[in-house]
Every structure is written in structure tokens, then in C-alpha cells.
Structure 1
Amino acid sequence: MVTVFRSLSLTRQLLIAMVTLVLLTSASVGVVVYWAVERALIPQGVLRLEGDARQLATQLVSRTTGYRSDLAARTKSGAIAGFIDASTGSGTDARLDLDAATWRRIVENLFFAELAAKSEYLQLRLLDAEGNEVIRVDRQKGDEPPRIVPVAELQAKQSRPYVANTLALDPGEIYISPLDLNREHGEIVMPFTPVLRFAAPMDGPDGQRYGLLVLNVDMRQDFRILRDAVLPGSDLFLVNAEGDYLLHPDPAKEFAFDRGPRVLFPEDRPALSAAVGAVAAGSDLVSADGEATRAVAWAQAPLAQVGPPLTVVLSAPSRIARAAPAIRNSAAGVGAIAALLAAIAVGLAGRAIMRPIVAMTHGLEDASAGRPVALPVTRGGEIGVLARALNDYIERERFDGAIVNGSSDAILTTDHDGLITRWNPAAAHLFECPAESAIGRDVDAVIAPDGAFTVRTWLNDTMGESEGGVADITRLRRDGTTCDIALRASPVHAPDGTIMGMSIIARDMTAERIAQEMFRVSVEYSPAGKVLCGPDGRIKLVNAQTEAAFGYTRDELIDQPVELLVPQDVRGEHASLMRAFLASPERRSMGNDREVFGRRKSGEIFPIEVGLTPVPSRSGTLVLAAIVDVSAQRAAQRDLIARTQELERSNKDLMQFAYVASHDLQEPLRMVASFTQLLADRYKGQLDERADKYIHFAVDGAKRMQALINDLLDYSRVGASTKPLEPVEVATVWQRVQRMLLSTIRETEATVEAGPLPTVMADAEQLTRLLQNLLSNSIKFRSDVPPHITLAAERQGEFWQFTLSDNGIGFESRDAARIFDMFQRLHERGKYEGTGLGLAIAKRIIDQHGGRIWAESAPGEGTRFSFTLRAAEPARS
């Protein structure tokens, strides 16, 4: 039978027990009532008043117990422990890497949420061991929202008794202060607010006493509940151990010990005070000072485990006590129907009582499933205390779960046997194993399945270390790549100090390790010397090229001042320059306005080029210097400058020689040409045919020599010209060239056309010569049909590209570059006139203008001469 009863649900068990109890009570109610009525010396009204006093005392103790439980739960908060750890620097829990400021915000938000949810909470504070407030959230008035108190407004509470009393407690104990009025800065806060303080000592992870956690509860709501529970006509008193009133029908007498002259219960109500006995609860009838007989009942309310209790006293007129005869007259009828009504009432009451318990059961199921939780947290009594404690536990669990599940690092926990008990999403991603497959399995099988690293052995070794342990593993991913993982483990302790398991934080270090290796390789194998200096100017890192350039080994350079690598006479200046660079760091070269020299170990001074790059780091701004030994380059530059100057002198002398030689040849050549022409004119037909032929050869040779000398003079003039370039309208020059060659154009029946022509930066005289040579060349090398020549221009960035096209005889594409060389002819001398210098002069003119010239052609398909000249106006964006 007992087994069957225990297998029923809690609701049915309670219903059966309550119905049975009511039936037994109803069966004996007639006897009990009759016996009570017969006992005239113990009025039923007095006993009922005593029950009311007991109920009020129980209710006050129950609510106080709830507040104490709330504070006890909050002392185990991981956020507060994290703040203490971060503040004292002695923490060993490495699950979160947060600084003290971040923990402070978390604890402040936690306190704020606590006060926002519970209007009776007035203050929630964390004090250090000296009694100074460290964190405080309060509400200045009961109907105002809570606020996070700024650091500047925090108070020193060393003088308050609850500080010393709490600090003297053992861990886990809670101090409850006497009920008094709230004070701030030593002054009573208006309106008067009765406050009960709950305080618990707080220790750091090293066992040292950090301070205390204090909860101030506004007792006005509790007092209001007590007053509302008192029947009309009854007086309620709440008296402390010293006899001071905490509750009184006359509010002016409440907390008189805080506000002014004390009003004590024995002095104010001596008859009632004398009736209240030393026992925890009781009742009596009293009469004093000519007043009518009154019923008095009392019950002690022990709020704290130690210390004197409070006393709840109820007083009512004696007519309440003389209600027993009416009960005796109706007891028979009531007893007859009590059983039936009780059965129905018990059924309804039982369901009402069990409803919040069922709701809490469903709440646990919802919390486990991740659904919203609804608990009867607003109920009073033990059910409300249990619901609020359960709600706090669920909130803490969800908050901790949100932190773990939202972490970018993999977080997992194991039990004492190395079986996985928790596995967050980051762990599932990092180890490529979902939570449902990981939880319950051996940690080695999931984290290091290849056996290269035994996690359980490492964990067993770590359990004995107070600060946990770290390890690095390399894991093969499913795609065949390797993953470097850093593990950090710390033991998880039960409240009694025993180790329940291990907490492991894993971080993917692959990218960081690759970056470190890439940095090392790029620095070590750089063709330039690399020197990394700290903010103090001391060398932190060098590469092999630095060793080779300066002759020092790494060990000789590391942690030495960088001035070791500069000449002795500039070391003082270099130190100040480095301080200036660190004051305004930017990537730049060193010594833009001067030459920079280094000093080898041998003492040799040599030229260098240095590029400076600031490198931010946790220890400050580092400076990475790229150093190149430019001794060979400087020597090559000096040699190149000397050779260039020599070449310029040689070219100048050569041009001067060519000009002088060509000019001096003109005079004898004119005489030869003149006299051979006279011979030809005077003796033509008078001599034999052979003599006429020789004279013709002499005249022709003189003319060709004169043309060659003129072209040489033009070529030399192009190189010697230093006239600055200016804007020139190409259309105007092109028209001028056509007028100059008008007779030739007409004789050959050539057609010359041009599109829109721009303005360029040029020497107008040289540009004229250029277009004249190109146009003459197109007319000269014409085919059997009349020449058709077109000049067009196209913008190419900062330049104009000109193209002169003809329909002449063309040439092989392999000769496209050779035609611009001096004295180059692609045809027999007698077939086409010319010296072979026309296109060479054209190329020299284009070179002088900073452009380029080229030709495209094919036999029988004409020729396209293209050249570029800088535009007079910048290109439009």
C-alpha cells in the first residue's frame, strides 16, 4: 500500500493526505469544540489571536528567509567572482579573458537587473575589506527606478557596525542587521525608510577576505503586509529586543530610537509588556489602568540565526475572546456538514496549492528545452521563495550558457573521468563534431583522435595545479589541412572544494602561427637588412642580411642600443631623431635631405638607405628598419655621372665638329659646283659624248654632296637646339608645310588631307621640319597612282598620337626600325633622290620633344607614320 501511495504524483498524494486529515478533523470537531467551549478559562478568541500573531511572525521570518536566500545565491555569482579575481589579480579561472572594468559593468548590470525586478530591494552593494563601497546600485526612493551609482558618489562605511560584524563571519555565513531607518552620509533619509541589511563575507580565490556583499531591503512593504493582515479593531506592535517599537498604531512612536527620545514598550504599555512572557509565543487576558479587559497574543520572529528575535504583539478587545458561546451553540450543525464541505474545499485548495509546484516543474522542463519560463515568482511564502530561487538559478544558467555559447573560442567541460559534459558551438566548429556526438564521449576520442597527444593524461596532470595548464596540439581537418590549437584547462571545483571535472578553452591558432612564420621568413630572407627596435631604442630582432652588412652576430646585437650601428659622431643626434619619430610615427625613408651612413663592427663607415615602418604592439610602438648597403650603387652612380658628363662633352664636341666641318665644306663645294655647271653650260655639245657624260657626273656629284652637307647641318642643329617648348597649333604648321611643298604637290597631283589637329608643346620650327620630311617622304615614295596622304590625331592620356598615312609603295615590316637610322636607304640610289637623313632627322626631332615615332607598312599597301607629342592641355578626368 505504501509503495502504491509513493508511486502517485505529488498532487494526488497531497490530496489524499489532506482529505484524510480533514475527515479525521471533521469527525472530532464536535468533541473538540464542545471541550473548548467548556473550558471557559481559555477563550477561543484569545487562542485565535495567538494564531494570528504566530502567522504574522512566520510570515515575517519567511520573507526574511527569502531575502537571505537571495543574497546567499548572489554570493555564488560567477560575475562577482570574476570581478574580484580581475581586481585582485589573483584569479585562477581562465574561462574568460576580461579586464576589471568589463567585469564591473557586468556586475553593475546584474545588480541593476536584481533591483529592477524586486521593488522591495533598496540597495545592493559590494564593499572591500576596508569598508569602502566598490560597486553600488540603489534606488533613492521606493517608487523610483534603480540607478548605478558613479564611482565618485561611492561612500566609506567603515564606521557602520554591520561591516566589522560581517567581516568577522566565516565563509557562507550571513549577517542580518538590526532593523533601523536608512541613513546616507550619516543622515536619515526622508521619507523614513525602515531597512534590514543582509551581508555576507566575500573571499578571493586565494582565500583572502576581499570584502562583503550587502543587500538593503526596504521593509515598508513587509510592514504593510503585516498591517493589512490584522483584523479591524486589533492593534499590532513589532518590538525589538531592547523594547523599541518598530511597528505601532501611532507611527510617531515607530523607530523613536533613531529619530529622537526613545519610546519603550515596557514604559508605554506596561500591562501588555508584563503579559508577554519569556516563551516564544503565547496569549493572555489583561486589564490595567481602568481599561476594559483586552486579549493579548505574541510570537517571536527570529530573523537571524543568532541574536535576539523580534516580537510580534497583537492586542484586541475582550469581546473577541467571548465569541466561544456562539461557536458552542452552532458546533453541532457545523460538525455535521464539515466533512462534506471539507472534502470539496480540500480538493480545490490542494489543486491551488499544487498549481505553482506544477508550474515550477513545467518551468524546469521549459528551461531545459530552451523555451520561455513562467514561474510564480510573485507568490508569497515558501512557494514564492522557492520560485524566486529557481528563477534566479535558471537566469544564472542561461546567462552563463549565453556567454559560453556566444564565445568565439571553443569551450568544453569534462567530468572527473574525462567524459565531455558540455560542448559549445565554437567547439563543434573547431573540432568538426556536433554537440550531440561529442557529449558523453571520451575527450581524447574527440579532441585528439590520432593519439599524438593524450588529453586525459594532460588533464590529470593539470588537476593538481591551482592555475590550470596550457598545451598546444596539431589536428588534421577533414579537408586534409592541419590546424594548430592552443588548449587551456582549469579545474572545476564543487562547493566543498573537491574537483568535479575540468574546463577547457581551445583556440584556433593556425592563422596566427602562419602569420608568425610568414613574418619570420619575410624578415629572415629579405634582401635588405631588417632591424626591429623597441620603444626604448634597443634592438629586438635582426636578420641574416643585417649580420652580413654590419659584421655582428645576432647575439651581439640583441638588446643593444641601435646607435651601435651608426657612426660615433651622429649617435647623439640619432637618439633624438628616433624620439621624434616615435612621437609622430609614420612610414618613411630615413635621411631624405642628407646621406645616411652605417658603421660596421670593424669600424668601417659605409653609405646605407633606411626605410622606417612603425609597428604597433602591446608594449608600445616598435620600429622596423629596412637597411640596404648602397656602397656599390653609390660607386656605380658616381661612375655613371662621370661617364654621362664625358659623353655629353664628347657629343658636344662632335656636334661642333660636324657643324664646323659641314660649314667649311660649303665654300669649296660651291666653287666646284659653280665651275662644273659653267663647263656643262658652255661646252655642252662642243666636246665628244664622253666628255659631256663626265661633266654631268661631276655636276650631279656636287649637287648630291651639297644636299648631304645641308642635311648634316640640319641634323646637327636639331641636337644643338635648346629652345624651350611652347604651345603650337599643329593645323597652322601643317598648312605652312603644304605651302612650302605646293609645287611638288601639284606636279605629282597629290591629295593631302587632315582631320581636326590639336595644340601641342613643341618647337614650331622643328615641328615644321618634321612634318615637311614626313610629307616629302610620302610624296617621294609614291606608287603609279597619284599620292593620297592623310594626317590624323588621337588623344592618348597626356600625349597626342599623330598618324600620317599614304598609299605609296610601302616596305617590308622588318625594315620598320632601320628606316630611321642615318644614311639608310631601302632602294637603289638612282631610283629615288635623297641623302637617307630625312627620317633620321624626324626621329631626332621627336626624341628632342620627349615622344616616340614608328612606322607600319607592307609592300604595295602604303605606309603609316605615327609619332607622339605632349598635349598643351592636361587630360580631362
Structure 2
Amino acid sequence: MIHEDGEHVTSPTKIEGKIHPKIIAEEFIDSKERLYDIINFLPDATFVIDSGEHVIAWNQAMEDLTNIKAEKMLGKGLYEYSIPFYGKRRKLLIDLALSSSKKLESEYYSISRERKSITAEIYIPSLSGKPTYLWGKATTLYNKKGTIVGAIESIRDITSKKMDEKELKQYRENLEDLVEERTDELKKINKQLQIEIGKREKIDRKLKLSRENYRNIFKNAGIGIFQSTPKGKFQKVNSTMAQMFGYESPEDMINSNDEINENIYIDQKHHTNIIKRISASDGILKFETEFIRKNGDKGIADLSIRVVRDKENNPIYFEGFVQDITSRKDTEKLLKESEDKYRTIFENTGAGTVIVHEDNTISLINSEFENITGYSREEVEGKSWTNLVVGDDAEKIRVYRNLRYSEHDTAPNTYEFKFLRKNKSIGYAHITVELIPGTKQLIASIVDITEHKNTEEKLKNLNEKLKRSNAELEQYASVASHDLREPLRMIKSFLELLEDKYTDQLNEEAKSYINYAVDGAKHLDSMIIDLLDYARVGRKEIKYYEVDCEEVLKKTLLNLKSSIDENNASITYEELPVITGNKNQLVELFQNLIGNSIKYRDVEDPNIHISAQKKEGKFLFSVKDNGIGISKKDLERIFVIFQRLHTWDEYEGTGIGLAIAQKIVLQHGGQIWAESEPCHGTVFYFTLTE
């Protein structure tokens, strides 16, 4: 049986069906000792290591070879078994049985592997004080489970054998020297003959080599090679030529083409003229031609052909090289189409376009760039780009350019700058610039915005004038309101005083005249107040901030509480958003719309609903009522200042509330409109940004 360490042991004695432990131990020890006895009496120096690389056997021959006793080596690890051979700890052949190592294998020679064993030879400079050649064989040891439990190595001193081989080699070399000396005289005698023979053989070799080289070149060249008769019949073609024209082999191409001109070339007349020129020439003629492949596909070839003549100068055959340039021609065609397309786009972008080298010199401009600057291509190409830029903008562009090369993502792609035209006038341009992929060049698209800038300047001046005009208007309105309202108050007061003092002397008609005059004064006063309110909307700079529209609505309802209660109005609303706006103006907006719905009520109690929904990046608000409605023809008039659809007697008001509402919405960047039918209520819609 095999022990778990991989050792063979005898079957232990059974006692009453069981194996006595003492007998097991004794027989195990006995088996192990017999195994070590076998190893000890092996003629070759042999040692065994376990899987932990500790020495577990070191036979007598090993002691004789190394002068190290077994009791000093058994149990030792850390490659101590290598010290007798090398004077230091290192791996030996036995370690290659446990694990491979290219570096360690390179130190041995005549190394070979057979199944689990490895055999090799090595030279030891000093083993027991003398140089030694060793032969070794190492084998991996396994237990019955297939697990590696160690390795064994047998070593044989082959120094004598190697010395014998060396002496034999020296003997052979000496014998060869002797033979060489004996043949010297014969060599001298035959020297002249050998020289002559050598010359002939050299010529033959060169000729043979030349023919062989020609055959190799002809057969393996990467381009097509052919020979043909002057009458147009292939004599030879190489494999590359056959493949180029779609034939399976050179023989297939030769046998399939009795007439080259008819079967191969598309323009037969052109080829006939070429043959005439070749026949009349002594040099190599190069040309391009279209050809037909075996499957009918067309191709383009680059040919180099010459004529070979006999002694009488008659053509014997044509020979030449053929290169398939179909792909190159297709690529050139695509490249030309791409360049034409690129140039068409480059010239017709609608903007001035310029390509700039890394050193800031202009590489290429289009015609629109010429139109913008007044310079021709010849005047600017090759010149510095910054020569066209005015003042501080030149430094700005240099900074942006350097940033684009060093930190591309942080460099601005679009900006404005001032440029100098050829006529010395200054223009303004908007530039879009980017690196051309795979290059260090920049491409820039330039739009002349001089007119736009001039318009902006004019608008700026007009706005300044408008601000001054508004300020003057505000001052005028303030004065006018005071100056207009003061006489109205006097008229109203004196009319009321007249009515009180002379009431007994006035008849009913006179009293009604006085009432009409008082009401007219009140109405005119209201119009002046509303007109001032309308003028104030948007006249001053408005501050915008986050506004909760529900808070705005609550403030509005509080302001309208008396009117809501008097008319028994019902106000409902859905969840309203938070937007950016001016709270005071938004309160005025809701107040005008809700107040309008209450004023123009129908016989039923007013029912007003407010809602908002997000739509296309804005909020769409609606104020829906059940009032008297508006005819379609009047919907366009309701936002016009002082436009009233009813008489003063029917409904009070100046007709300015919806005009103010429209002005507030427009100032907030929105739109306002209404949808309505008579007797079916009205819905006011308006949009506000988020």
C-alpha cells in the first residue's frame, strides 16, 4: 500500500479484525527505513526534498560527492543543499521539478524534459576544490491523491567523460591539421587548375544565382510581371499579375488570353499606339491604362514596358511591370470630390472664413473674408492674423489662441473684436473659432457686425434720449396732474356749493345739469389718475425676484374684499407657481383682471377661477369668469387705452385697466389675450416666465 506521503509500506497485521496501532507504526517505520536504504545504496549521488524544500534523504554517494554528511543536511531547508556546489544558497535542478524558471533553465545545458522528469548538465567551477562537470536528473514526487509531496534528484560526476570527449576532439583536430598539411602539396599542384575551375564555377554560380533571383523575383514580386510576344500573346505572368486580373493561376491567365489587346485593355486603339511606341523605342515606356478583369470589373493599372531585341535588333518579346492603382485612383477621386466639396462649403459659408497656422500666420481665406476686410488672398495669406486686429483686441486674441492650445476646453469659442479694413476704416466682427481635428491649425468663421454695432449704438443713444424724455414726461405728468386736477376740484367744489346754496331757487332740470357737471368732473379726475398709473408702469427700472403667485393672489383678494363681498363673488384657484417677477406689478395685474370680471358680471353671482400650467418653458395663467362676455369683433379693442365697450351709465371705469394689465405682462416678457362669447363668460390668458 502507499502512504499519504507517497511512500510504499507493507500491509499491517490484523488483530481480531482490527490493526493494532503499534504494528502500523512499526511497519511504517520499517518501510521508510527500507526506502532510505534503497536510496542510500544507489550508485548516483541522490537526495530528496519534501514539498517545503527540506532535505529528507541524502545518500552515501551524495556524501562522497559533496563531503557533507547526511546528518548535517537532513531537515535543512532554504536551499542549503546548494551550498556544497556553489558556496551559496540558490535553486538547483531539483527545484525545476517543483516549479519552472526560465532563468534557472538557462544556466543548464543539454536540458530535456520527459513527463515528470527533467535531465540536464552543468559545469561547477569548484566542487570539493576542483572544476567538475555534473549530470543530473530530477523527478517530482506525488502521493496517491496526486498532490506534490516533494522531489528527488540524482547527480553523476561526468568530468572524466567530458575530459575524454575534449581529448577526442583535440585528437580529431590534430588529425585534421595533419591531413591538411599532407594535402598542402596537392593543393599547390592543383592550385592553378582550381583557380580556373573556380572562375568558371563562380561565373556559373552567378549565372545560376541570377537566374534563381530572377525566378524568385518573378514569382514572389508584389507587383505584376509579364512577358509577351510582339503579336500580343502572354508568354509568362507571375502570380501577382494573375491575381490582379482575377485569374486563379498564371497558367489560367496565359491560356485564357490569345489576344491581349482584345481581352485585357478597354481602349484597344490606345494600347495599339502604345505597342508601336514601345517597338520603336529602346527605353522603358511608362503609362496608365484601363483594363478588364476576368469577372468583367474594370480597373486602372500603371505599366512600365520595354522591348527585348535579338542581335539583329528585331523585337523578341515585351516585358514589363504592372501595378494595380485602382484603389489609389478611387481614393484620389474621392479626395478630389471631398476637396471640391470642402472648397465649395469653405467659399459659400456666408461668413468670412480663415485658416490660421499655429504660428498665427494666415493659411487660407475665402472670398467673403476678402469682401469683409477689403484685402485679397495674396495680400494676407502668409501674414500674421493679428495684423488685421485693432488695439487691445490683438492681445486678447493672442491670449485666447495660447489658451486654446494649452487648455482647449477653457478657451472661449465665440467673441467679438475690432478689425482694420484695407481702407483703414475700423469694423466690428463676431468670430467663432475651433481647432481643426488632428492638426495645430485653427479655423475661424467671421461675421461683419459693424452695421449691427452701429445700430446698437444708435439704439443706445435713442434709449438715453428716451430715458431723458420719460423723466421729463414724468415731471410733466406730475405737474400736469396737479395743474389739471386742481381746476377740476374747484369746478366740482363750486358746483356742489352752488347746489347747496341755491337749491331752493333751482328747478329739477338745473339740478340735473349740476349733477351731470359734477359727475363729468369726477370722471375726468379718474381718467387723469388712471392715465398717470398707466404712464408709471415700466417708466422706472423694475426689480425682479422670486414671487409666490399664491401670495400675490391673496394680496389681490384682500384689496378687492369690499367688491367681492358686495357682489357675492366666488373666487377659486388651483396651485399657483413661484416665478421671477415684481410682486407689486403682479398684484396690480391680478387686481385689474379679477376686478374686470366682477365689474362685468351677469345676472348670476360672479364665479371666477384662476389656474396656471407649465407649457414650453413658461407658465400659462388663466382667469375665467361667468360674466356677460365679449363679442369677437371687440376682443382686439379691449387692451387699447381708453377703449370702452359700454357707456359710463352702464359700467363705471375709464377703459384703462386692461391696457395697464397688458403693459405689465409685456414688461415681464409674456403675452396676454382673451377668449370669449357674449353671455358665455370670458377667459383671460397670459404667460409669465419661470
What is the TM-score normalised by the length of structure 1?
A: 0.45
Aligned to 1:489: 302
**Please, which of 537, 542, 564 is the counterpart of residue 718 of structure 1?**
537
Q: Is the 8 A contact 2:301 2:322 kept in 1?
A: no
Which secondary structure state, in structure 2, belongs to the residue aligned with residue 823 of structure 1? Answer: coil
Q: Note the alpha carbon deviations across 1:414-465, whole angstroms, 9 max, x for none.
A: 885599987999999xxxxxx99xx96999999996x699588789989999
Return the offset for 1:640.
Answer: 1.9
For 1:22-41, list aligned pairs within 5 A: none
**Selected match of 2:174 from 238, 241, 264:** 264
Render the CA deviation track for 1:248-285: whole Å, top value 9, x for unaligned: 996425765xxxx9832257899xx999x999xxxxxx
2:663 to 844, 848, 863: 844
What's the counterpart of residue 561 of structure 2?
742
What letter corresponds to residue 585 of structure 2 in structure 1?
A: Q
Percent identity of paired positions between Structure 1 and Structure 2: 30
Structure 1 residue identity aligned to 2:433: L
> In 2, distance between residues paired with 1:142 and 1:453?
72
Q: Secondary structure at the match of 1:719?
A: coil
1:753 counterpart residue number: 572
The residue number in structure 1 matching 2:354 is 531
User: Would you say 1:615 and 2:428 are equivalent positions?
Assistant: no
Partner Cα separation in structure 2 for residue 870 and residue 738 of structure 1: 23
Greater shift, 762-771 or 774-783, is seen at 762-771
**CA contact under 8 A between 1:443 and 1:456: conserved in structure 2?**
no
Alignment partner, residue 855 of structure 1: 674
- Maintained 8 Å contact 2:244/2:324: no
* Match of residue 343 from structure 2: 520
Structure 1 counterpart of 2:609? 790
Task: Specify whether residues 550 and 676 from structure 1 end up closer, same or farther in structure 2 by C-alpha distance, changes over 3 A only.
Answer: same
Read off the aligned partner of 1:822 and give its amino acid letter.
I
* Alignment map for 1:210-249 (pairs within 5 Å): none
Residue 376 of structure 2 corresponds to which residue in structure 1?
Answer: 553
**Does the CA-based 8 Å contact 1:820-1:843 persist in structure 2?**
yes
Match of 2:462 in 1: 643
Q: Give secondary structure in 2 for the equivalent of 1:844.
A: helix
2:599 aligned residue: 780
Matched residue, 2:364: 541
Q: Shift of the alpha carbon at 1:598?
A: 2.1
Counterpart CA distance in 2 for 1:656 and 1:552 is 54
One-letter identity of the residue aligned with 2:440? T
| CA distance in structure 2 between the partners assigned to 1:577 and 1:517 by the alignment | 34
SS at match of 1:776: helix
- Equivalent residue of 2:436, what SS? strand
Aligned to 1:774, the other structure's residue is in SS state helix
SS at 2:537 equivalent: helix
* Residues 615-645 of structure 1: per-residue CA shift (max 9 Å, x gap): 356xx52333334444433322222211121
Given that 2:610 and 2:624 are in contact with CA atoms closer than 8 Å, whether structure 1 keeps it comes out as yes
CA contact (8 A) 2:305 2:320 kept: yes
Q: In structure 1, the residue corresponding to 2:457 is in which secondary structure? A: helix
Q: Is the 8 A contact 2:284 2:305 kept in 1?
A: no
Aligned to 2:30: none
Alpha-carbon contact 2:601-2:627 (below 8 Å) kept: yes
Instruction: State the alpha-carbon separation in 1 of the partners of residues 242 and 572 from structure 2.
Output: 81
Contact 1:459 1:502 (8 Å CA) reproduced:
no
| Alignment match, 1:668 | 487
Instruction: Give CA-to-partner distance per residue, 1:709-757, whole Å, 9 cap, x none.
Output: 2212322333345452333332233233334333433443432211122
Helix, strand or coil at the partner of 2:655: coil
Equivalent residues of 1:659, 1:716 under 8 A apart:
no
Q: Deviations over 1:4-46 (max 9, x none)?
A: xxxxxxxxxxxxxxxxxxxxxxxxxxxxxxxxxxxxxxxxxxx
Q: What is the SS of the residue equivalent to 2:440? A: strand
Q: 1:656 and 1:468 mapped to 2: Cα distance? A: 95
1:245 counterpart residue number: none
Q: Distance in 2 between matches of 1:812 and 1:426?
A: 86
1:504 maps to what in 2?
324
SS at match of 2:626: coil
Alignment of 1:152-551 (within 5 A): 251-253=165-167, 263-265=173-175, 487=300, 489=302, 491=304, 499-507=319-327, 508-509=330-331, 510-551=333-374
Check whether the contact 1:596–1:609 (CA below 8 A) recurs between aligned residues: no
Structure 1 segments unaligned to the other structure (5+ residues):
1-139, 145-190, 192-247, 280-304, 307-388, 405-410, 429-434, 872-877
Name which of 806, 809, 819 aligns with 2:625: 806
Distance 2:528 2:487 in 1: 12
In 1, distance between residues paired with 2:265 and 2:602? 87
- Where 2:572 maps in the other structure, the secondary structure is strand
Q: CA 1:749–1:563 in structure 2 vs 1: closer, same or farther (change >3 Å)? A: closer
Q: Which has the higher contact order (CA 8 A, sep 6+)?
A: 1
The Cα of 1:486 is off from its aligned counterpart by 9.9
Q: Verify the 8 A CA contact 2:225 2:319 in the aligned structure 1.
A: no
Distance in 2 (CA, whole Å) between partners of 1:643 and 1:472 is: 73
1:590–1:609 CA contact under 8 A, matched in 2: no
Q: Please give the alpha-carbon distance, in whole angstroms, between the structure 1 residues aligned to 2:265 and 2:474.
A: 83
Secondary structure of residue in 2 paired with 1:836: coil
Question: Partner of 1:775: helix, strand, or coil?
Answer: helix
Measured against aligned partners, the alpha-carbon deviations of 1:73-108 in whole angstroms (never above 9, x if no partner) come to: xxxxxxxxxxxxxxxxxxxxxxxxxxxxxxxxxxxx
Q: RMSD of the alignment, in Å?
A: 5.5
TM-fit CA distance, 1:831: 2.7
Q: Which of 550, 560, 574 is 1:731 aligned to?
A: 550
Provide closer, same or farther for how the CA distance between residues 453 and 761 of structure 1 changes in structure 2, counting only shifts above 3 A: farther
How do 1:48-67 residues align onto structure 2 when only pairs under 5 Å count? none
One-letter code of the match for 1:771? F
Contact 2:414–2:433 (8 Å) recurs in 1:
no
- In the alignment, the residues of structure 1 paired with residue 559 and residue 502 of structure 2 have an alpha-carbon distance, to the nearest angstrom, of 35
**Correspondence 1:124-139 to 2 at 5 A:** none
- Structure 1 equivalent of residue 508 of structure 2: 689
Q: Which letter maps to 1:867?
A: F
CA distance in 2, matches of 1:623, 1:444: 52
Q: Give 1:804 shift.
A: 0.6
Q: What SS is found at the alignment partner of 1:727?
A: strand
CA distance in structure 2 between the partners assigned to 1:551 and 1:817 by the alignment: 51
Deviation of the 1:836 alpha carbon: 0.8
Deviation at 1:675, TM superposition (A): 3.7
Structure 1's 686 and 504: CA in aligned 2 closer, same or farther, altered over 3 A? same
Q: Is the CA contact 2:388–2:419 (under 8 Å) kept in the aligned structure 1? A: no
User: What residue ranges of structure 2 are gaps of 5+ in the alignment?
Assistant: 1-107, 113-132, 134-161, 188-200, 203-211, 247-251, 308-316
For the residues of structure 1 that align with 2:174 and 2:589, how far apart are their CA atoms?
A: 125
Secondary structure of 1:835's aligned partner? coil
Give aligned pairs, total: 481
The match for 1:598 is 420
- Give how far 1:769 is off: 1.6
Amino acid in structure 1 at the alignment position of 2:339 = Q
CA 1:460–1:860 in structure 2 vs 1: closer, same or farther (change >3 Å)? farther
Deviation at 1:864, TM superposition (A): 1.4
What secondary structure sits across from 1:499 in the alignment?
A: strand
Check 1:841–1:576 CA distance in 2 against 1; reply closer, same or farther (3 A cut). closer
Question: Does the aligned pair in 1 maintain the 2:262–2:268 contact within 8 Å?
Answer: no
- Cα offsets for 1:669-705 (capped at 9, x unmatched): 2333344345456666852232122112112102211
Shift of the 250–764 alpha-carbon distance from structure 1 to 2, 3 Å rule, reads same
SS of 1:866's equivalent in the other structure is: strand
Map Cα deviations across residues 372-407 of structure 1 (whole Å, 9 max, x no partner).
xxxxxxxxxxxxxxxxx9xxx9xx98xx9xxx9xxx
- Please give the secondary structure, in 2, of the residue aligned with 1:731: helix
Measure, in 2, the Cα distance between the counterparts of 1:528 and 1:251: 91
Q: 1:522 to 1:753 in 2, by over 3 A?
A: same
8 Å CA contact retained: 2:676, 2:682: yes
Q: How does 1:26-105 map to 2 (within 5 A)?
A: none
Structure 1 residue 867 corresponds to structure 2 residue 686: yes
Structure 2 length normalisation: TM-score?
A: 0.56
Q: How many Å separate the matches in 2 of 1:690 and 1:542? A: 89
1:634 aligns to what? Answer: 453
3-state SS of 1:820 partner = coil
Give the deviation of 1:833 after TM superposition. 1.8
